Structure 1
Amino acid sequence: MKVACVGGGPAGLYLSILLKLQDPSHDITVHERDPEGSTYGWGVTYWRGLLDRLHTHDPVSARAVDAASLRWSEGVAHVRGDTVRQHGDQGFGIGRHRLLDILAARAASLGVRLEYGHEVSADDPPGWADLVVAGDGVRSALRTRHAGHFGTRLSTGRNPYIWLGTTKVFDAFTFAFKETAHGWIWCYGYGYAPDRSTCVVECDPATFQGLGLDRAGEAEGLALLEDLFADVLDGHRLLARPSAHGGAQQWLTFRTLTNRTWHRGNLVLVGDAAHTTHYSIGAGTTLALEDAITLAHALREHPALPDALAHYEQRRKTALLSAQSAARYSAQWYEDLPRYMDLPPDRMFALLGQRHSPLLPHLPPRLYYHLDRTAGRLTALRRLKRGLGPVLARTVHARTLASRERSQNRMAD
């Protein structure tokens, strides 16, 4: 099969790896419009479940990704001068540039052609390919040309945010919430390299305007944010880099993208070209790689291309339902942030961990917290009873046998 992957992001590169591993005779080219070695963004996050799946499908690239990642197993929240630390699942951070380098090197070693600085026109897609994979991001030109067919829908969030870097290396997934005269502003930070962390800053529109961030130049805006989060940054600087389209990095509002269908003829969507989920759940890279895994499996199991693409779409759209729901409620939690900030910091942090719940927006936060704690105690009690059940049964059985034996001995006497 001849395959053209348009876009050299995680989905396109990993799909090319998996297809070559399935059949080395596949003729695969990855077209990336940007020059080799250039990428935009800082670090990306993923969790243990993804790493396990990567080891299953390609141990070589998985070991390289694992070795290049930073790890944490705690979350930290800084609120009004208080610090709350909680243990959680193991998370990983890796530089986007490093991840793409690993995947590109692995793809090239398997015989995939990588063409950098090569933008594929939507009016002239690769006619030689049996399969064209649109992995060219949320602004996908290939998808946009047929937006009516795909049923593309975009909804824009309310809060402005900016994606920054810092030389402060966080030892845990870190949240910091700062109250200003104009409202709350907060950041998420996580390490991804020995000398770098990602730092995403977000606030509501009123705070954004009240602080003057809507009018500040890049240097002035960074200085203001460094001052606001000085205690969290420990004197380290915030870093900006040029955006993907030139110029200074800009404040954005998140765009949630969905499509009614993900394929048209021999064209199929993957990654952000097919779907986006709010950055606050840290799932974008994971979902893109899982798209690649599912598409490769469908192409192996279904020889007819229409059947393979239909199977891929159905499997991924079903699998995405929980992540998309979590992303919606997570974004809403931050948009409704003030309703949680009167809680004690430990309780606010507990509800931050519950922000994916569809019930939380409809209950008073204090009531939800107590209900959740009660449910947690009941669950723990049920688990304890299940664990102790066999032990208690064996103890009772042993005591019953011993009692019978004593009775028999008395009767014999």
Structure 2
Amino acid sequence: MRVKVVCVGGGPAGLCLAILLKRQDPSHDVTVHERSPEGSTYGWGVTYWRGLLDRLQAYDPESAHLIETHSVRWSDGVAHVGDLTTRHHGDEGFGIGRHRLLGLLAGRARALGVRVEFESELTKPPAGADLVVAADGVHSTLRTGRAGHFGTRITAGRNHYIWLGTTKVFDAFTFAFTETAHGWIWAYGYGYSGDHSTCVVECSAQTFTGLGLDRADEGESLALLEKLFAGVLDGHPLIARPGASWQNFRTLTNRTWHHRNLVLLGDAAHTTHYSIGAGTTLALEDAMCLAGALREHAGLPEALAAYERRRQAELLSVQSAARYSAQWYESLPRYIHLPPHRMFALLGQRHSPLLPYVPPQLYYGLDKAAGQLEPLRRFKRWLGPRAARALHARRR
């Protein structure tokens, strides 16, 4: 049955959904409206892992191939703590420029017959559409107008962060922790092309104001950060996109994700702390899940309800990991004075719901001694989602 679908928001979630719906039935009338001009986007590069490519391959092999072909990859993690450095080998990760990713998805969508309209802003659901998809981000206008129905909840984190780029190309996922007279400040760096990397800088509120970053203009901020992270930048500059500013990360959740023929997708439905690098992956997984639900259920209400149930259940463990990851960085003084290899080991364990309640040295020893025991690994996997469900139940 031919349906008319309007996607509001031309980010990864909206474009991916448009592609998948057209592949399922070329007769569908699918339009994507993006308020920004073509080729403009916030951010620098985004990360993902092999599992996303495997899942996307099952839905659209061509998109999966395009994304992998235009990505860079790494398998090591490096932590610089002051003058000390430790390196660990890990899972294969990928980085791709957000601008490149959106260009690939928009081109693929157009090739399949999707209308992609830039500089086109919709502030309310259009009449005549069978399905309206709010993929317009954390500030979603369509969701905000019905916040009471969706049960929107936003929680701000304590730390400050800024999203920057650099011409330094990191060969591994790089963490750099620098101590100042006002506390620690740190950066996450990863390559996403042959000539650029993303560099996210974070610090506590005390360090932020102590360094004067709350009063500095863009040039002063970049000059200070380049000095603080000179050891890993190797003389390369930090670059800010127009309008870049320091922020507190906001975790957004919604009690329900659909209302009549309107459904939330991607950051309009949920956000997870950037320190777990899952934002783009979750957006594309939302699109795959919604496309699958629309294919499997003849009725729109049943399809939207099935999509909501499945994605909310799948997100429990991810949201738990993101919450504990953010808390780990907010509690950095608890871990930073460990030997670098131990600190880095606990950095890798920051998603654990047990870590905040066990002395770090003791946790490290127990994890090293018993980490190979399958019962302990199963218990940790079991505990994380259940803690998230308990929190979700209290909020409801």
Q: TM-score, normalised by structure 1?
A: 0.90
SS at match of 2:214: coil
Task: Give 1:328's aligned amino acid.
Answer: R
Aligned-pair CA distance for 1:379: 5.1
CA distance in 2, matches of 1:121, 1:338: 44
Aligned-pair CA distance for 1:149: 0.2
Map 1:190-229 → 2, pairs under 5 A? 190-229=190-229
Aligned-pair CA distance for 1:341: 1.2
Q: Which residue of 2 aligns with 1:255?
A: 250
Stretches of 4+ aligned residues off by more than 2 angstroms: 376-380
SS at match of 1:158: coil
Map 1:115-264 → 2, pairs under 5 A? 115-122=117-124, 125-243=125-243, 249-264=244-259
Q: Which residue of 1 aligns with 2:30?
A: 28
Task: Give 2:10's aligned amino acid.
Answer: G
Aligned-pair CA distance for 1:118: 0.4
When residues 153 and 379 of structure 1 are mapped into structure 2, their CA distance, relative to the original with a 3 A threshold, is closer
SS at match of 2:137: coil
CA distance in 1, matches of 2:309, 2:276: 23
CA distance in 2, matches of 1:251, 1:102: 29
CA deviations on 1:225-283 (whole Å, 9 max, x unpaired) are: 0000001001100000113xxxxx11000000000000000000000000000000000
CA deviations on 1:109-163 (whole Å, 9 max, x unpaired) are: 00000111000022xx211210000000000000000000000000000000000
CA deviations on 1:191-211 (whole Å, 9 max, x unpaired) are: 001000000000000101111
Task: Give 2:148's aligned amino acid.
Answer: G
When residues 64 and 210 of structure 1 are mapped into structure 2, their CA distance, relative to the original with a 3 A threshold, is same
1:269 equivalent among 261, 264, 267: 264
Q: Which residue of 2 aligns with 1:60?
A: 62
CA distance in 2, matches of 1:40, 1:80: 31
Task: Give 2:309's aligned amino acid.
Answer: Q
Q: Which residue of 2 aligns with 1:284?
A: 279
Task: Give 2:108's aligned amino acid.
Answer: R
Residue 40 (1) aligns with residue 42 (2): yes
SS at match of 1:51: helix
CA distance in 2, matches of 1:379, 1:72: 28
Q: Which residue of 1 aligns with 2:98?
A: 96
Task: Give 2:99's aligned amino acid.
Answer: H
Q: Which residue of 2 aligns with 1:81?
A: 83
CA distance in 2, matches of 1:81, 1:323: 33
Report % sequence identity: 74
Q: Which has the larger radius of gyration?
A: 1
Pairwise CA RMSD: 1.1
Task: Give 1:83's aligned amino acid.
Answer: T
SS at match of 1:369: helix
CA deviations on 1:96-115 (whole Å, 9 max, x unpaired) are: 00000000000000000011
CA distance in 2, matches of 1:324, 1:56: 25
CA deviations on 1:170-200 (whole Å, 9 max, x unpaired) are: 0000000001110000000000010000000
CA distance in 2, matches of 1:320, 1:282: 14
Q: Which residue of 1 aligns with 2:388?
A: none
Q: TM-score, normalised by structure 2?
A: 0.93
CA distance in 2, matches of 1:279, 1:24: 35
SS at match of 2:126: coil
CA deviations on 1:27-68 (whole Å, 9 max, x unpaired) are: 000000011111111000000000111122111111111111
Task: Give 1:72's aligned amino acid.
Answer: W
Aligned-pair CA distance for 1:376: 2.3
Task: Give 1:360's aligned amino acid.
Answer: L
SS at match of 1:299: helix
Q: Which residue of 1 aligns with 2:392?
A: none
Aligned-pair CA distance for 1:16: 0.5
Task: Give 1:82's aligned amino acid.
Answer: L
Q: Which residue of 1 aligns with 2:344?
A: 349
Task: Give 2:226's aligned amino acid.
Answer: E
CA distance in 2, matches of 1:196, 1:161: 19
Residue 2 (1) aligns with residue 31 (2): no
Q: Which residue of 1 aligns with 2:361?
A: 366
CA distance in 1, matches of 2:123, 2:327: 37
CA distance in 2, matches of 1:375, 1:325: 23
CA deviations on 1:352-409 (whole Å, 9 max, x unpaired) are: 00000000000100000000001124459x9xxxxxxxxxxxxxxxxxxxxxxxxxxx
When residues 377 and 153 of structure 1 are mapped into structure 2, their CA distance, relative to the original with a 3 A threshold, is closer
CA distance in 1, matches of 2:334, 2:46: 29
State how many pairs are aligned: 374
Q: Which residue of 1 aligns with 2:74?
A: 72
CA distance in 2, matches of 1:252, 1:107: 33
SS at match of 1:252: coil
